């Protein structure tokens, strides 16, 4: 048998379900990986081995079969992962990626996303690293080790789910949940050469986006394979009796029957848009291709040769499968950037820190966002929300002409540690947009998107296997099955690096 970290999450699930592995065996193996690699990678902000082993032992003890097999198939019973260090888990301190929160007592209650994944049977190994309060697109918090892409330890893992992506890419966990308010699942997934999915706003009960300012922040899966990402997505959709997703809001995105997302990824065939079910034939799609973004009218955006090569590889592979590929350009949107900046700062203004001493412990970027946001008049914030609502309608209409739209995942290669300006917040914000121009507009529009690696750069001394580069595939509202099918086709056609970098 291959080493357990070389197995996919789907394979591990099946081995656990068959009783060929126990939760304790799997947990011990991945904890050993974390112990050996985390010092170099910085994927976990905190590791909780005793709690993980207790949880694994309890799952085994309470299993439904004689060998401790799970009580029901299709769960994540016994599979290890980590909680993003912006989420509370009862009994474990939450660091929020900030020295300002060092020494906080353990949380009293777990957040909803943690409860949902616990109910699915996961074993948490600890807290995956995040930047301060989740605002930056890189994970290099002051006073803590940076999260690094395992493909080149001199470069960052992206953010804000940088620790989650780094942990998956280094084989410390088979998959990990993250949150995405401006690209925070897709950016680190792309920087680490793994798969990251941002769901449609309103799809997930926990982290739906419906309850965040401007509807930006949604939760989503990060995994080594498209099928593993779909497996985790299925678990993030808890269902009541009869298979109906347990939504707490009246506003929700279209969702499909249990198993439809995993089936789309595993069969890699385009699904029926009404049912999400994959048909017997592969089918072909009309796909738009663009290197334009909503930031083009505000900052100087340059698509690097490496990003262009990755896009060409993805487009060529999809064209070779019979899909129709149409070059397109997004409509100019000069109003987007000022409105987004206002909304982003407005969201930061609500951070519950009023003590000047604590506020002074925050990093310059975070302080700038909070202080600037607290100076934004209510009218300006309301106008920004209205402007972005109009942009949502425009972008949804532009994307919906196609079955999907493809962009580069990132405009540049993964950035070196320390590349972002630590002293000039305005310059820092600009750098983030230049690195990740294709992501935030989809949070504004609420559209689903998936990033998948399509190319590795030439080897160097720092990156012997090269650096991962990829594409982002954007879907219509509720189009996750189509995205999963197309990403799985790319995965099967291009066969990105199968081995681990370290």
**What residues are labeled active site?**
84, 160, 184
| 157: CB partners within 8 A, 6+ apart | 41, 42, 43, 138, 139, 146, 147, 148, 149, 163, 165, 166, 169, 188, 191, 192, 414
Residue 182's nearest CA partner among 344, 417, 370 is 344
Sequential DSSP letters for 148-182: B-TT-TTBB--SSSHHHHHHHHTTSSSEEEEEESS
Backbone φ, ψ for residue 451 (5° rounding) = -110, 140
SS3 (DSSP) at 83:
strand
Residue 4 contacts residue 27 (beta carbons within 8 Å): no
How far is CA 278 from its chain centroid? 24
Largest CA distance in the chain: 63
Query: Across-strand partners of 54?
Result: none
d(CA 173, CA 33): 9
DSSP state of 60: H
Residue 315 contacts residue 356 (beta carbons within 8 Å): no
SS3 (DSSP) at 109:
coil
Report the first-to-last Cα separation within the chain, whole angstroms.
Answer: 20
Backbone φ, ψ for residue 480 (5° rounding) = -55, -45
Instruction: Look at phi and psi of residue 67 and say left if phi exceeds 0, alpha if psi is from -120 to 50, else beta.
Output: alpha
In angstroms, what CA-CA distances link 65 with 17, 27, 72, 250?
Answer: 9, 19, 10, 39
Matching residue, tokens 């992501």: 439
Matching residue, tokens 């890419």: 169
Residue 184 contacts residue 161 (beta carbons within 8 Å): yes
């Amino acid at each position: 048998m291959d080493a357990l970290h070389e197995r996919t999450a789907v394979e591990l699930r099946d081995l656990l379900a068959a009783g060929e592995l126990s939760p304790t065996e799997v947990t011990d193996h991945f904890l050993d990986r974390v112990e050996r690699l985390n010092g170099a990678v910085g994927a976990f902000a905190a590791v909780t081995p005793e709690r993980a082993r207790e949880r694994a032992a309890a799952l085994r003890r309470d299993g439904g079969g004689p060998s401790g097999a799970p009580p029901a198939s299709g769960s994540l019973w016994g599979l290890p992962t980590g909680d993003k260090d912006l989420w509370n888990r009862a009994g474990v301190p939450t660091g929020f990626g900030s020295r300002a929160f060092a020494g906080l007592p353990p949380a009293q209650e777990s957040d909803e996303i943690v409860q949902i994944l616990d109910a699915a049977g996961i074993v948490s190994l600890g807290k995956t690293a995040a930047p301060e309060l989740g605002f930056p697109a890189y994970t290099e918090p002051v006073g803590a080790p940076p999260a690094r892409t395992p493909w080149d330890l001199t470069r960052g893992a992206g953010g804000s789910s940088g620790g989650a992506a780094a942990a998956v890419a280094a084989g410390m966990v088979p998959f990990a949940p993250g949150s995405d308010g401006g690209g925070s699942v897709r950016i680190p997934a792309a920087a680490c050469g793994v798969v990251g999915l941002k769901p449609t706003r309103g799809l997930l009960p926990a982290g739906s986006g419906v309850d965040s300012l401007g509807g930006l922040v949604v939760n989503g899966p990060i995994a080594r394979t498209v099928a593993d990402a779909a497996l985790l997505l299925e678990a993030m959709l808890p269902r009541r009796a009869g298979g109906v997703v347990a939504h707490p809001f009246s506003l929700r995105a279209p969702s499909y029957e249990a198993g439809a997302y995993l089936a789309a990824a595993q069969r890699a065939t385009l699904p029926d848009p009404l049912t999400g079910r994959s048909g017997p034939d592969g089918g072909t799609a009309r796909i738009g291709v663009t290197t334009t973004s909503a930031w083009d009218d505000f900052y100087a955006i340059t698509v690097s040769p490496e990003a262009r090569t990755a896009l060409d590889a993805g487009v060529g592979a999809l064209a070779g499968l019979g899909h129709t590929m149409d070059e397109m350009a997004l409509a100019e949107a000069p109003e987007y950037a000022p409105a987004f900046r206002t909304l982003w700062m407005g969201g930061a203004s609500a951070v519950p820190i009023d003590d000047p001493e604590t506020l002074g412990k925050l990093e310059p970027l975070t302080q700038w966002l909070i202080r600037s946001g607290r100076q934004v008049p209510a009218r300006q914030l309301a106008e920004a929300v209205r402007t972005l609502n109009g942009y949502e309608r425009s972008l949804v209409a532009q994307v919906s002409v196609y079955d999907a739209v493809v962009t580069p995942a990132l405009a540049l290669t993964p950035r070196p540690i320390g590349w972002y300006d630590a002293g000039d917040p305005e310059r820092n914000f600009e750098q983030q947009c230049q690195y990740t121009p294709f992501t935030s507009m989809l949070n504004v529009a609420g559209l689903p998107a998936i990033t998948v690696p399509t190319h590795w750069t030439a080897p160097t001394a720092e990156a012997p296997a090269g650096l991962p580069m990829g594409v982002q595939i954007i879907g219509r509202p509720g189009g996750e099955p189509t995205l999963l099918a197309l990403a799985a086709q790319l995965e099967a056609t291009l066969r990105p690096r199968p081995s681990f970098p370290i």
